[in-house]
Homo-oligomer: A and B are copies of this chain.
Amino acid sequence: MASSLLHCSDKLPFMDVEAILHMKEGLGETSYAQNSSLQKRGMDTLKSLITNAATDVYISQMPERFTVADLGCSSGPNALCLVEAIVGSVGRVCGRRPSQPPPEFSVLLNDLPTNDFNTIFFSLPEFTDRLKAAAETDEWGRPMVFLSGVPGSFYGRLFPRRSVHFVCSCSSLHWLSQVPPGLFDEAGRPVNTGKMYISSTSPAAVPVAYLRQFQRDLGLFLKCRAAEVVPGGRMVLAMLGRQTEAGYIDRRTTFLWELLSESLAALVSQGVVEQEKVDAYNVPFYAPSMEEVEEEVRREGSFRLDYAQTYEISLSSSGDAREDGRTVSMAIRAIQESMLSHHFGADVVDALFHRYTDLVTESMEREEVKSLQIGVVLTRYSTGLRTGCALGLPFNSLLRRRRLLRPLSVLGAGGQGYFLPGAWVPI
């Protein structure tokens, strides 16, 4: 839980991302709980991939205690969504094998210490009731689910050695541990003036600084998880991403930051916000390409990359630009309010998002707005099996291959999935 301070001149405020960044707490109108339907749709798209990968790990290991972790669980209804699906899925597998009682589930919900865990915990009785009802319907006995909240940055160790069978992380790994130090020159002056993320007008140093920070962070993430995940255990990681044809600029990822920079510029022209503050504001965010993720997985070397997928989600879901614009604007507010308030002061947030809603709505009236997500399935190597792992697979691995193939058919036309060469031998 080491804090990470922004390398910044004394004149500018420090930004300790770990201590500040959190989804808007509570259940109010601007809370993340009320404004996370976009993330929910991303999770729903991945749900089959996640539950199949988790069930696969369970079947291959059959532990008495099956430990599942959701990293970056946030708060609100999304926080329990994936773990509920995983428990149900493994439970149904056991229900089909009368001789196999379901395991005890240890469910670890992780997010930064500033996350609103209270709201998750308040909703536990309903979570338990839903699980019981599902277990009765599917006749797989009463599940023993032990749930805990694990506060801390996933760019550090979170769990004891070899204690976790399955990890999932959705819509979180695009958040960096800190604003990249390279966004400030040696004198502490910001280099990405007027912008908060990589933009077509950004100097070349900007995407390089972001990429380096992402590589460092993902490498650290993988190293920590390598210590925690049991051999043969799996991770499904999904995050906002981009396609390389577009270089560093993929409109599906940069677009919403561009509009937020424009909204800030409007407040500068009204004299509400200082230009210097806007210049110094950068989001600790990076949308990687699939190749960048694959490269880091290979470089770190503890996990085999079994499956990779990119998929688009339309943000113009209702067909009503005003409604969709408000949904998107409120979602970005729930995510960004903590950092914007810290940097600019809480009193500018309403005006900023009033302008932002207008800009997003205008764009959505002109065109369909989409986001691009990438997802990967990784398997923890057993010691000594880092190379040649795909050769001479036993029969049950072939069964597992079929199981993991299944999600492709349910992901819809928007998804582009492929198995990595060497991950499995052909049948």
Contact = CB atoms under 8 A, between A and B. Distances in A.
A206 to B, nearest CB: 30
A7 B163 CA distance: 43
A118 interface: yes
A317 to B, nearest CB: 32
A265 interface: no
Interface stretch (A143-151, A192-200, A276-284, A307-315): A143-151
A125 B19 contact: yes
Interface in A257-297: none
A278 to B, nearest CB: 29
A121 B161 contact: no
Closest 6 CB pairs of A and B: A121-B151, A148-B148, A149-B149, A113-B121, A148-B150, A65-B160
Contact of A113 (B106, B125, B159): B125
A158 B108 CA distance: 13
Nearest to A67: B160
B117 A161 contact: no
A64 interface: yes
A42 interface: no
A59 interface: no
Interface of A: 1, 3, 19, 25, 64-65, 104, 106, 108, 113-118, 121-122, 124-125, 128, 144, 146-152, 157-161, 163
10 contacts: A3-B125, A64-B161, A65-B160, A65-B161, A65-B163, A115-B121, A117-B121, A144-B157, A148-B148, A149-B151
Contacts of A19: 125
Contacts of A161: 64-65, 104
Identical copies in the complex: 2
Given A146-B150, A148-B150, A122 B113 contact: yes
A117 B118 contact: yes
A146 B157 CA distance: 8
A393 to B, nearest CB: 31
A151 to B, nearest CB: 4
Nearest to A116: B118
A146 B163 CA distance: 12
B147 A159 contact: no
Contacts of A104: 160-161
A184 to B, nearest CB: 24
Contacts of A146: 150, 157-160
A21 to B, nearest CB: 14
Contacts of A117: 117-118, 121, 149
A124 B148 contact: no
A118 to B, nearest CB: 5
Contacts of A65: 160-161, 163
A201 B158 CA distance: 54
